[in-house]
């Protein structure tokens, strides 16, 4: 099977397993795990922030950030395609009692003007606008990259109006290897940042929440409440350190492979359109007369695993465990499918 379902399906490499096996460990709830401490310091430094917090998942890092930034009733401003709204089990309401103001962006990317229009005035009828969250790259938008100058404009607007600005950067490095922008500049734009080690970076588990010391202190408290205080988890952190050192630049290869597949899909008779592929995610819209379930089954029977991505759409994701030979095989299978 060639598994295009997600970049979360990757297996740790032998070298990654070696560093995991040899990592010095301690009880991280006591702050005694040296490997976690190194990973957190490394992440904070990369983004020019005071602290970072290692968590089991990106859902947890986002949900902690929302919880620390808001109080019940506050408005979280985000795009209608955003992961925090669509794919975190209603956690904004469930964990933090916050309300949501959705923006209608372009493939998940909104503008400073849109945010401006969504910030409520000081009126007792209205929820207090407290947090803006952006997602780069945007998953549901087809892995598209934000224009950093727009993000900077939003950051200025947030500052002026006393709102916090959070980045769901589950796939931030997929954006940065294309734009060649630095992690420091991302750190300058956002108050808080979540990055996933378990997506394209190829770790078995783990995400990092990055921000100033006070924010990370509060986040550590919330992580404990959510049941995310881990003990000898340095084995997992070791994989993260390795991935940040050796698995970032190679994301470019995933993007090249994704473009090849997107090009083939665009010429398939059963495909209506393909979102222009910028990173490692390919979203294809099926022709109206094509049944989504049947196509997924047919692809599976030929050895290609993919997922449905909303009505009439399928998603392919390239990653560490997709080889050049697999891309060639996949292209042949797609070309001859119907």
Q: Which helix (H) or strand (E) holds 223?
A: helix 213-225
Q: Judged by CB under 6 A, does residue 306 bind ligand PLP?
A: no
**Distance between CA atoms of 58 and 209, rounded to whole angstroms?**
9
Among 58, 105, 187, 211, binds ligand PLP (CB under 6 A): 58
Query: What x-and-dash track marks residues 12-51 binding ligand PLP by CB under 6 A?
Result: ----------------------------------------
**Distance between CA atoms of 23 and 232, rounded to whole angstroms?**
10
Q: Hey, what are 323's tokens?
A: 């080889």
Q: Judged by CB under 6 A, does residue 268 bind ligand PLP?
A: no
Among 10, 107, 139, 164, binds ligand PLP (CB under 6 A): 139
In this structure, how many other beta carbons lie within 10 angstroms of the beta carbon of residue 20? 21
Q: Which stretch binds ligand PLP (CB under 6 A): 33-41, 52-60, 64-72, 90-98?
A: 52-60
Number of residues in the chain: 338
The whole-angstrom distance between residue 144's C-alpha and the CA centroid of its chain comes to 11
In this structure, how many other beta carbons lie within 10 angstroms of the beta carbon of residue 11? 11
Which residue, chain included where needed, has tokens 């997107």? Answer: 262
**Distance between CA atoms of 308 and 315, rounded to whole angstroms?**
6
Min dist CB 290 to ligand PLP, Å, is 26
**Distance between CA atoms of 335 and 217, rounded to whole angstroms?**
53
**Distance between CA atoms of 248 and 202, rounded to whole angstroms?**
10
Among 10, 12, 23, 59, binds ligand PLP (CB under 6 A): 59
If the CB atoms of residues 7 and 268 are measured against ligand PLP, the closer one turns out to be 7
Cis bond upstream, residue 137 (ω within 30): yes
Min dist CB 198 to ligand PLP, Å, is 6
Q: Judged by CB under 6 A, does residue 83 bind ligand PLP?
A: yes
If the CB atoms of residues 58 and 234 are measured against ligand PLP, the closer one turns out to be 58
If the CB atoms of residues 70 and 279 are measured against ligand PLP, the closer one turns out to be 279
Question: DSSP assignment of 8-20, as one string?
Answer: T-PPPPHHHHHHH
Among 70, 96, 207, 278, binds ligand PLP (CB under 6 A): 207
Using CB under 6 A, count the residues that bind ligand PLP. Answer: 13
Q: Which stretch binds ligand PLP (CB under 6 A): 27-35, 54-62, 183-191, 329-337?
A: 54-62
Q: Judged by CB under 6 A, does residue 57 bind ligand PLP?
A: yes
> Nearest to ligand PLP by Cβ — which residue?
58
Q: Shortest CA distance to 234 belongs to which of 50, 22, 8?
A: 22
If the CB atoms of residues 107 and 198 are measured against ligand PLP, the closer one turns out to be 198
Q: Hey, what are 303's tokens?
A: 């050895």
Binding site residues, ligand PLP, CB under 6 A: 57-59, 62, 83, 135, 139, 168, 170, 196, 198-199, 207
């Amino acid at each position: 099977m060639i598994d295009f379902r997600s970049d979360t399906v990757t297996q740790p490499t032998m070298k990654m397993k070696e560093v995991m096996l040899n990592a010095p460990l301690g009880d991280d709830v006591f702050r005694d795990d040296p490997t976690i401490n190194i990973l957190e310091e490394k992440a904070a430094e990369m983004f020019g922030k005071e602290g970072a917090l290692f968590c089991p998942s990106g859902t947890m890092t986002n949900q902690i950030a929302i919880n620390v930034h808001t109080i019940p009733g506050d408005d979280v401003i985000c795009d209608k395609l955003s992961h925090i709204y669509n794919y975190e089990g209603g956690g904004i309401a469930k964990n933090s009692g916050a309300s949501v103001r959705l923006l209608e962006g372009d493939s998940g990317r909104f503008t400073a003007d849109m945010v401006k229009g969504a910030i409520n005035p000081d009126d007792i009828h209205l929820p207090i606008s407290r947090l803006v969250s952006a997602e780069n790259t945007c998953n549901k938008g087809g892995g598209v990259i934000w224009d950093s100058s727009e993000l900077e404009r939003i950051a200025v607007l947030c500052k002026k109006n006393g709102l916090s600005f959070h980045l769901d950067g589950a796939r931030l490095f997929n954006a940065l290897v294309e734009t060649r922008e630095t992690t420091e500049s991302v750190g300058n734009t956002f108050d808080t940042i979540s990055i996933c080690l378990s997506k394209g970076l190829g770790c078995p588990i783990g995400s990092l929440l990055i921000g100033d010391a006070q924010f990370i202190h509060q986040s550590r408290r919330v992580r404990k409440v959510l049941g995310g205080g881990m003990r000898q988890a340095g084995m997992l952190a070791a994989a993260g350190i390795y991935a940040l050192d050796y698995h970032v630049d190679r994301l470019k290869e995933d993007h090249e492979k994704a473009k090849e597949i997107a090009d083939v899909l665009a010429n398939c008779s059963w495909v209506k359109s393909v979102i222009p592929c910028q990173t490692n995610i390919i979203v294809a819209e099926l022709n109206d007369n094509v049944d989504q379930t049947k196509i997924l089954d047919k692809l599976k029977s030929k050895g290609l695993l993919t997922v449905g991505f909303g009505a009439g759409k399928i998603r392919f994701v390239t990653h560490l465990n997709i080889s050049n030979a697999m891309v060639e095989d996949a292209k042949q299978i797609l070309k001859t499918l119907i």
